[in-house]
């Protein structure tokens, strides 16, 4: 990817940093394989370890990655999975149906995400990639659909947007604090 495109990606996501070799090793352990394509560290935890990776959509892949933000922190990933298993997504769907202000914030933030994703797609592959990816919401599915708390939490941690991610973060930090007590094995230098 050209320097211009990398610079543009960082303009679109100001928190994005080029990963160091150490970051790439940690990201590989966190996700269980080498990161594919062009990646950035989009958010770090209090210990300065990667917790969200920005993955640019790729023309090289048969199937474009469903979301551009990937929650890589093992601690938060397990916690988000636990929330999903507890029925938190259904709670968010009820909130969306019953709380007009919350729903409007969700719709506005998802529209921002869709625009950001479209700008990333245009940056990397233009119409060809846009056609292959279709229109996707925060969690990689149809816009408006609440699924995959990992994706919503990742988007929130990077941008401060998305009431699903915000409510997920509040619930997690209420029960576990903002970071792991001991550095996860995958995150050690």
Given a cut of 70, whether residue 48 has pLDDT beyond it is yes
Query: If DSSP codes are grouped into helix, strand and coil, which group holds residue 72?
Result: coil
Compare 68 and 179 and report the one with higher pLDDT: 68
At residue 56, the pLDDT reads 76
Say what the alpha-carbon torsion angle 172, 164, 111, 3 is, to the nearest 10 degrees: 10
Given a cut of 70, whether residue 104 has pLDDT beyond it is yes
Given a cut of 60, whether residue 59 has pLDDT beyond it is no
At residue 137, the pLDDT reads 72
Over residues 75-94, the pLDDT tens digits come to: 999 999 999 999 999 999 99
- For the entire predicted model, the pTM comes to 0.89
Q: What are the residue ranges spanned by the domains of the chain?
A: 3-187
Q: What is the residue-averaged pLDDT of the chain? A: 86
At residue 134, the pLDDT reads 64
At residue 180, the pLDDT reads 82
Confidence of residue 32 (pLDDT cuts 50, 70, 90): very high
For every residue of 74-108, DSSP letters joined together read HHHHHHHHHHHHTTHHHHHHHHHHH-HHHHHHHHH
| Burial (0-12, 13-18, 19+ Cβ within 10 Å), 189 | exposed
Over residues 109-163, the pLDDT tens digits come to: 999 988 888 888 777 666 666 666 666 677 777 788 898 999 999 999 999 999 9
Confidence of residue 31 (pLDDT cuts 50, 70, 90): very high
């Amino acid at each position: 990817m050209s320097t211009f495109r990398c610079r543009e990606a960082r303009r679109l996501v100001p928190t994005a940093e080029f990963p160091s070799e150490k970051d790439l090793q940690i990201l590989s352990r966190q996700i269980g394989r080498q990161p594919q394509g062009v990646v950035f560290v989009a958010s770090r935890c209090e210990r300065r370890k990667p917790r969200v990776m920005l993955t640019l959509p790729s023309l090289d892949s048969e199937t474009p990655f469903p979301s551009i933000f990937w929650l890589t922190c093992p601690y938060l990933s397990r916690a988000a999975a636990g929330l999903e298993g507890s029925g938190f997504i259904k709670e968010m769907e009820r909130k969306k149906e019953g709380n007009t202000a919350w729903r409007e914030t969700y719709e506005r933030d998802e529209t921002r995400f869709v625009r950001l994703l479209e700008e990333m797609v245009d940056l990397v592959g233009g119409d060809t990639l846009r056609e292959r990816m279709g229109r996707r919401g925060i969690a990689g599915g149809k816009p408006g659909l609440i699924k995959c708390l990992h994706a919503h939490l990742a988007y929130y941690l990077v941008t401060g947007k998305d009431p699903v991610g915000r409510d997920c973060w509040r619930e997690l930090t209420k029960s576990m604090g903002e970071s792991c007590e001991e550095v996860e094995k995958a995150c050690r230098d």
